[in-house]
Structure 1
Amino acid sequence: MANLWHSVRGVQIRYLGEKRFLFQFYYVMDMDRVLKGSPWTINNHLLVLHKLQWGEDPLKVPLILTPFWVQIHDVPIGLFSKNLAVQLGNFIGKFIEYDGSNLGKENRNYIRIRFQIDVRRPLKRKKQIMLCGNCTYVRFKYERLLLFCFYCGCLGHNDSFCEAKMALGVEINEMGWDLSL
């Protein structure tokens, strides 16, 4: 990770046990750049980062929240707005920021937002919205999505190792999620 992050003065990495590591940066700008670049992965596994506050025990911090970028597709013309982006971001997780920089350029017909997701919960696929009394759906496409279960919709494992699927004890042909995410 240290080679990938290219920090100016380096980073000290210490293994704490229980699958936890402490990353100590020597410049705040290096740490901020790494946090802003999340999500990061190691061997296809999500690296959940948390900026420690003074007095926090790194072994007791719940590592359950991570930021993601998502593209929101099939938004009706005229509804592209930061207000809608905030509402949808809070539906998926917790809204962080709206990327309106390339809106309308290069045939980009989606809203792009960054939000914080709880990795224990299934990913949202779509959301029904009302427009002039008519119902329509917007679809979510997650950027840099890696190890993911098509059966239960959760991050961190695939359908071959899904506890929910194994609990049924039968082979399931129908998956709840697909590659459109």
Structure 2
Amino acid sequence: MDRGIADLNLNDGEDEAFSLPVDSEEQNALYDFCLVGCYLTANVVNFPAMRNTMANIWHPLKGVQISDLGEKCFLFKFFNEVDISRVISGAHWTFNNHLLVFHRLVEGEDPMAVPLVFSGS
């Protein structure tokens, strides 16, 4: 066993790195049906608890993917227009009594530089 480990070489079997082409249509599709939101609170937001709670409350038909952007801001990716429209128009927008303000992303917008001025009804 010790001899087998001693014979290992990091250069053996290494392949060249490759890059995946990023098509502009793929990039635009990346933010289709996406919302950026930030909780209005001075407290820390427990991301796993928030993610599970909001997904259960909204219960989108095709699911929702929630990513932590930092600074109490999150990216909510839905997978069809019906789900995102339903959530925007009448969903619950608080977690632990903290309001979530949001912005629906459109093509070419930077999720970290959009104004967050809307809240659910």
TM-score, normalization by structure 1? 0.35
| Cα offsets for 1:14-71 (capped at 9, x unmatched) | 0011211000001110000000015610110111121101111111112123354xxx
Per the alignment, residue 8 of structure 2 pairs with none
Q: 2:89 aligns with which of 27, 36, 44?
A: 36
| Cα offsets for 1:79-117 (capped at 9, x unmatched) | xxxxxxxxxxxxxxxxxxxxxxxxxxxxxxxxxxxxxxx
Question: Structure 2, unaligned stretches of length 5 or more?
Answer: 1-53
- Distance between the aligned counterparts of 2:87 and 2:108, measured in 1? 22
Change (3 A) 1:67 1:41: closer
Q: 1:53 aligns with which of 78, 101, 106?
A: 106
- Distance between the aligned counterparts of 1:10 and 1:21, measured in 2? 16
- Distance between the aligned counterparts of 2:87 and 2:115, measured in 1? 19
Per the alignment, residue 10 of structure 1 pairs with 63
Cα RMSD (Å) of the superposition?
1.5
| Cα offsets for 1:117-168 (capped at 9, x unmatched) | xxxxxxxxxxxxxxxxxxxxxxxxxxxxxxxxxxxxxxxxxxxxxxxxxxxx
1:76-87 equivalences under 5 Å are none
- Distance between the aligned counterparts of 1:9 and 1:39, measured in 2? 18
Amino acid paired to 1:57: D
- Distance between the aligned counterparts of 2:95 and 2:86, measured in 1? 18
- Distance between the aligned counterparts of 2:118 and 2:63, measured in 1? 25
Number of residues of Structure 1 aligned to a counterpart in Structure 2 = 68
- Distance between the aligned counterparts of 1:21 and 1:14, measured in 2? 6
Moved over 6 A (4+): none
- Distance between the aligned counterparts of 2:79 and 2:72, measured in 1? 23
8 A contact 2:92–2:120 mirrored in 1: yes
Q: Percent identity, aligned pairs only? A: 56
Answer with 1 or 2: which has the greater Rg. 2
Question: Structure 1, unaligned stretches of length 5 or more?
Answer: 69-181
- Distance between the aligned counterparts of 2:95 and 2:101, measured in 1? 10
